[in-house]
Structure 1
Amino acid sequence: MLYRIAEPDDWHQTQQTGFFASADLAAEGFIHSSEQHQILETARRYYAGRADLVLLEWDEDALAGARVRVEREWVPSRQQHFAHVFGPVPLTAVRRSWPLAATEDGAFRLPHELEAPTK
């Protein structure tokens, strides 16, 4: 699965049109997305203090089935590969969504369903 921290307007538009597209697709030719282990650092770096975000979970197999190309590309500033999605994401590829809001101390937490089980 891939994950996208989405602006509420982009998510609302997705529900109206059936496809997720964001400003980065128009500006850069791809949609930035993350692996699960990259979500919290991305939120901390780029969305500090935001309380209105939506976390989307995308099924990579569904993207491939819809012929939406995904490439993992090296991002030097993060020293990691990130999944870049080269086209609008069909709503049928969105498996789950959650509200994503910073806590009072400004930190983000993964939705309960994505947290690692405790031993």
Structure 2
Amino acid sequence: MTEQLLHLTEEPLWEAARRAGTYEMSTRGRTLREEGFIHCSLPHQLPAVARALYGSEDDGLVVLVIDTGRLPALVRYEAMEPGGEEFPHIHGPLPASAVVEVRRWAGPLTAGEGEAG
């Protein structure tokens, strides 16, 4: 397997995408079409992303573990501002077949033993 990326989402959104075969949400409340890419994280980035997007509302969230070797779309590491931390972005739809694991998100202290992915 190649590099793994993580994406935090609401379980019903993932379940609908799994049935459809393609996931097309970018981030909370924004679609791939609206944003132009799907926001992802590396394991060390996920706790801060979860806090920023969901705060303490972590019920019903899942972490999609994505195998970049199964992606037809380009992955770019981009910063929100010049010199800022770079985050991985998938520039196209996420095939459900590229998601190799789905983990329940239980917050940064319990998801993956202190590592959220």
Tell me which moved more, 77-86 or 90-99: 77-86
Unpaired segments ≥5 residues, structure 2: none
Residue correspondences, number: 108
Report % sequence identity.
31
Tell me which structure has the larger Cα radius of gyration.
1
SS in 2 for 1:112: coil
Q: 1:33 is aligned with what amino acid?
A: C
Q: Whole-Å Cα distance in 1 between the matches of residues 70 and 109 of structure 2?
A: 26
Unmatched runs of 5 consecutive residues or more in structure 1: 103-107
RMSD: 2.3
| Structure 1 equivalent of residue 36 of structure 2 | 29
Letter in structure 2 aligned against 1:7 = E
CA positional deviation for 1:79: 2.2
Match runs of 1:1-119 below 5 Å: 1-22=4-25, 23-50=30-57, 51-63=59-71, 67-76=72-81, 79-102=84-107, 108-109=108-109, 111-112=111-112, 115=115
Please identify runs of 4+ aligned residues in structure 1 that moved more than 4 A: none
Give deviations 1:62-119, integer Å, cap 9, x for gaps: 11xxx211111112299200111111111111011111134xxxxx335337849xxx
Q: Give how far 1:49 is off.
A: 1.4
TM-score (norm 2): 0.80
Higher helix proportion (structure 1 or 2):
1
